[in-house]
Structure 1
Amino acid sequence: MRRLFSLLVYVSCALTSWPSDVCDSLLTRLDRMLPDRGVYERDRRALIDKAKADYMTASTTADKYNVLRGLYKGYRSYRIDSALIVADERLALANELADPSKIASATINLAESYAKSGAYDKAIELLDTLEDETLEDYHRKYRNSVYRTVYGMKYGAALLDRERVDALEKLRHYRSLSLAESPVNSSSYYMLQAQRLSDAGMNQEAVAKMEAAKEKFDFSDNPQMLYTMGEIYLAAGMADEAKECLVRSAILDVSSGTKEYASMILLASVLYDQGDIRRAFEYINCAFEDAIFSKANFRTAEVMKVMPVIDAAFHMAEREATERNRRYLSVAFLSVAVLLVSILFLIRTLRRNRQMLATIADVNKRLELQNSALVKAEAVKLKYINILMMAYAGYISKLKEFRKSVSRLMKAGQYQQTMDLVKSDRLESRELSDFHAMFDEAFMSMFPDFIDKVNAYFKSPFVLKSPGRLSPELRVVAMMRLGITSTDEIASMLHYTPQTVYNYRSAIRSMLVVPKDEFEAAVSAI
């Protein structure tokens, strides 16, 4: 009894998983076909090329008309713009032949091409020119089928509610006409009945009708019927069954070189809803490429309704996968880093213990040097302040003596001597010389090794003519050391003309053994 129960469980599980395995196998097959779509187009291209060659050799209008039937068949679901041209030429030949049957056939071909290109009103206008009384049965069925296609497309593309309602009413009307014209129990009869039931919201009844049709007919090579079954299953909430029908239909479309199709678009939406984002992204991109190639504007619009959503989901999934991998790598790197850090920490601790005493000694030495430098800087500062105070005091005394001299001469009425005294530049020259001497003394006391360090950068060293007195060139360099680099500012401070300062700087540059920028940086660091 226990063995029997186990067997029943196994069989039940096998039957449950079998459809899923079949669908996965079909999806894998479709995956392999998509990169080689060009291979499957060869037969269609051969049919088109043969029809073109036959057209070139056709001698009569009737022969050309018949050849264009095959050419239209080749372009019909492949290149809509070319199919439109062929259908238009075929209609012109039919009018030339004045054959009502041929005119009807070519008119319906042209209307069908206009519909697929998105010109729905033009397609309806052409179909409306055909009266029932002038049509043969198969032409009437073909016309009503195209009517259904056009109004189905208009319903999907309508922007206003009233446009959708009108298109749906016309679709239902021509579906009823097609249903009345279809033989009872034919495959088209079952399909139209199922579509009408699904349209009325009777989804389970529609599924039952399609299941009954599957028992009577073989739809394995009928992509349109498989697509319709997929739509009905999907409306009934049977996503897995719908997916299998749609993938079978898509395989037939690809293998026949078809470029204008609907099955892969709907299949991409189903896969997206089921979380198979990668496949949905690949399929919708394939459908988009083929819709663009075929110039089927209606299919392009259908693709664009779902493509942005799938594309966004795919790239989000890619980012999440990348982020997940990054986190895994981060954890791995972090683990390795923690281990390395631990090892390095141990090594560093040992080194730190060895270097601690040396570091402390070095710090103490630097502190001593800094203290010594501070003491020297303080002494220099005090000396500089003293020099500055003495200079100002002396200048005030000289101004006082000068004022007294001028006053005595003026009181004595010696105006000419007063003017000569004021105009004389001897006082200014003496004061400027005293100023330069004071500057040289103060600067050399602040930077006692200035001359030796600066001479290291010249081809021939400067030699002081008087102890403690800088040459004009060295005085310019000294101003640069104090941070005054502008020619005008140096001239103003030293009471030179700007041209004189410029000449001194040019002479300095000509004597350098290093680039100017390097010399200026070295002077700033003295």
Structure 2
Amino acid sequence: MKYIFLFVFGFLISETSLANSTDSLFKELNAALEKKTEYESVKLIRINEIKKSLAKPSSLTVEHLYNAYSSLYEEYKTINYDSAFNYAQKLLDVSYKLNDKSNVEEVKLKKGFILLSSGMFKETFDVLQSIQLAFLTPQAKVEYYSLFARYYYDLADFHKDKYFTVEYNQKGNAFADSAMQLSNKRSYDYIWLQGLKNLRNGDMRAAARSYEQILGFKNLTPHQYAINASSLSYAYANAGRENESVDLLIKAAIADVKSVTKETVAILNLADILYKKGDTQTAYNYIKHALDDATYYGARHRELKIGAILPIIEGQQLSTVEHQRKLLLGYSVLATVLFLTVVVFIFITIKQLKKLKAADKIIKMANISLQQTNDLLKEANKIKDEYIVYYFNICSEFIDKLERFKKSIEQKMLLGKPDDLKSTLAKVDLHKEREGLFLSFDKVFLKLFPNFVESFNNLFKEEDKIKLEEGQLMNPELRIYALIRIGITDNDRIAKILDYSVNTIYAYKTRIKKKSLIQNDGFEDQIMKIQSV
């Protein structure tokens, strides 16, 4: 009996310790996310210092350019695809000038790495195929085979097809084996590839041993730590070690935030786990960070994955907010009833008119405040409800179109009619589809804000007011500020939604504000005051 008591007591102490450890890690992660902008500022300062060294092109040697572009590529490769690709391309141009075949082929490896990180599989394959192995150093060959292994593993994850996934995993294993043959068995590359291969083949125990060994290495970069901690977390989760798995994911997410790594999966996987556990609020916060990172980096495959999860979590979050709103309304009604009871009691017992008037005044003020709050909540809920319906309708229509398109192509392929197939493909008008998407957005928005165009034009002189063509609901300028009115203020997101460059968005906004009767700083505030129905 004594030993049973000691065992139970020890188990409870252990569980409490684990819970406290996880809570402490969550606090550390949340603190890191609050300082996210500070970490990014430090990295951007470092990048700007390197760029300053390129300010006087006349005094730069080819070797100096190579070193500077290489440093900028390394800084950008985990935070922004466009910039990293740009400097990889410049690095390739400089390598040709150096007339060093080895350098040229190694820069192609860098280019392939950044393309794969962005989810551009075809382009990655084309670059890797163009590399001449004969000019690569032994270490560069290890990187080459490792990158090809990761390419096929990522393809397997992306397709999730019964036939092709098996084939891609087999090819990934073959390239991993080639890289391992050229690596020292005690090296980081060898052990990492061994762990990756075991993970893909479902041998979680062997994979865990490899990643545990790597995490014991000294001088790991934060990015290397995050990658291996995430992988070990996956292995632990499949082995039933749930608490350790979550702790590792949190640590990986912290490392990513502090190292300003945007090409990451740790916080996304953490959000998914928290959602499944019922913590929708935290899951929602984390997945928004994951989406911001994926968008900032330009990781297309990550955005697709997040896009599949986000509506589910967001829908649950909206349900939670609605439930809380109803509770708040119930408490408000109860408080009001209790207050009225007190007022009536005071009226009956004391019969003091002054106190009754004061109480009545308080009630009126509370009702006005409550009405204002309810109006704001109604507007917010109406916007959310309309756009949730709009989103699902658009997705449903798009899926229907894809299904019809797929059936049509399959039928023509079976009938062996390549000319008909080309004709079908030629009928796909992306411009028309986007115009249709904009028209749907205009209709939903103007349903919510029927006076938007008129109110918008009231902010300009008569000659500067926007005049729409016949049949046109809104133009690009109006759509930009329509998106701002519903809460989308980030220029990058607006640019992606409207298929413009960020510079175009800036140009539109600047031109509109200059013509406005309102000062530039207060223009968007006036837009936000435009009322819905």
Partner of 1:377: none
Distance 2:297 2:221 in 1: 25
Residue in structure 2 matched with residue 319 of structure 1 by the alignment: 322
d(CA) in 2 for partners of 1:64 and 1:220? 26
Residue 19 of structure 1: how far off its partner (Å): 2.5
The 3 A distance-change label for structure 1 pair 323 and 192 is: farther
For structure 1, the 5+ residue unaligned runs are 347-526
Of the candidates 230, 239, 244, which is equivalent to residue 241 of structure 1? Answer: 244
Correspondent of 2:269 among 253, 266, 269: 266
Specify the alignment match of 1:21 in structure 2: 20
Q: Which residue of 2 aligns with 1:459?
A: none
Answer whether contact 2:215 2:229 (CA < 8 A) is retained: no
> 1:215–1:250: structure 2 CA closer, same or farther, 3 Å change rule?
closer
Counterpart Cα distance in 2 of 1:156 and 1:213: 24
Residues 23 and 220 from structure 1, CA distance in 2 versus in 1: closer, same or farther, beyond 3 angstroms?
A: farther
CA contact (8 A) 1:250 1:263 kept: yes
2:35 is paired with a residue whose SS is helix
Alignment match, 2:31? 32
- In structure 2, relative to structure 1, the CA distance for the partners of 1:54 and 1:192 (3 Å cut) is same
Distance 1:215 1:159 in 2: 33
- Counterpart in 1 of 2:46? 47
Query: In the alignment, is the contact (CA less than 8 A) between 1:55 and 1:68 conserved in 2?
Result: no
What letter corresponds to residue 268 of structure 2 in structure 1? I
* Residue matched to 2:305: 302
- What is the identity, as a one-letter code, of the residue corresponding to 1:230? S
Please tell me whether the aligned partners of residues 81 and 117 of structure 1 are also in contact (alpha carbons under 8 angstroms): no
Amino acid at match of 2:261: T
Whether contact under 8 Å (2:211, 2:229) holds in the other structure is: no
Counterpart residue number, 2:521: none
The answer as to whether partners of 1:219 and 1:226 remain within 8 angstroms in 2 is no
Alignment size in residue pairs: 346
What's the secondary structure of 2:91's corresponding residue? helix
Partner in structure 2 of residue 229 of structure 1: 232
* Residues 79-88 or 193-202, more deviating: 193-202
Identity %: 22
Alignment-derived partner of residue 129 in structure 1: 130
Larger radius of gyration between Structure 1 and Structure 2: 1
Separation in 1, partners of 2:122, 2:68: 28
Question: Which amino acid in 2 is paired with 1:191?
Answer: W
Q: How many angstroms does 1:64 deviate by?
A: 0.7
Equivalent residue of 2:202, what SS? Answer: coil
Output the CA distance in 1 between the equivalents of 2:299 and 2:209.
33
User: Relative to 1, partners in 2 of residues 1:181 and 1:325: Cα closer, same or farther, differing over 3 Å?
Assistant: farther
Q: Distance in 1 between matches of 2:215 and 2:120?
A: 35
TM-superposed CA distance for 1:205, in Å, is 4.0
Provide the rounded CA distance (Å) in 1 between the counterparts of 2:219 and 2:11. Answer: 27
- When the two chains are superposed, the root-mean-square deviation of aligned CA atoms in Å is 3.1
- In the TM superposition, 1:27-176 aligns within 5 A as 27-57=26-56, 59-158=60-159, 161-176=162-177
In structure 2, distance between residues paired with 1:218 and 1:45: 23
Report the CA distance between 1:340 and its aligned residue: 7.9
Cα pair 2:215 2:228 within 8 Å, conserved: no
How many angstroms does 1:9 deviate by? Answer: 4.7
Paired with 1:266 and 1:299, the residues of 2 have a C-alpha distance of 11
Distance 1:116 1:5, change over 3 A: closer
Describe the superposition over 1:330-362 as per-residue Cα deviations: whole angstroms up to 9, x where unpaired. Answer: 55556667888999999xxxxxxxxxxxxxxxx
Aligned partners of 1:207 and 1:236 also within 8 Å: no
CA distance in 2, matches of 1:64, 1:213: 35
Q: Which residue identity lines up with residue 98 of structure 2 in the other structure?
A: L
C-alpha change, 1:206 and 1:341, in structure 2 (3 Å) is farther
CA-CA distance at 1:238 after TM superposition:
2.9
Q: Secondary structure at the match of 1:150?
A: helix
Answer yes or no: is 1:253 the counterpart of 2:256: yes
Q: How is 1:428-507 mapped onto 2 (pairs within 5 angstroms)?
A: none
- CA shift at 1:108, angstroms? 0.9
Change (3 A) 1:343 1:46: closer
**Superimposed CA distance per residue, residues 275-331 of structure 1 (whole angstroms, 9 cap, x where no aligned partner):** 221111111101111221222223222321321221112222222232334344455
Structure 2: any 5+ residue segments left out of the alignment? 350-533
Question: Is 291-300 or 333-342 further displaced after alignment?
Answer: 333-342
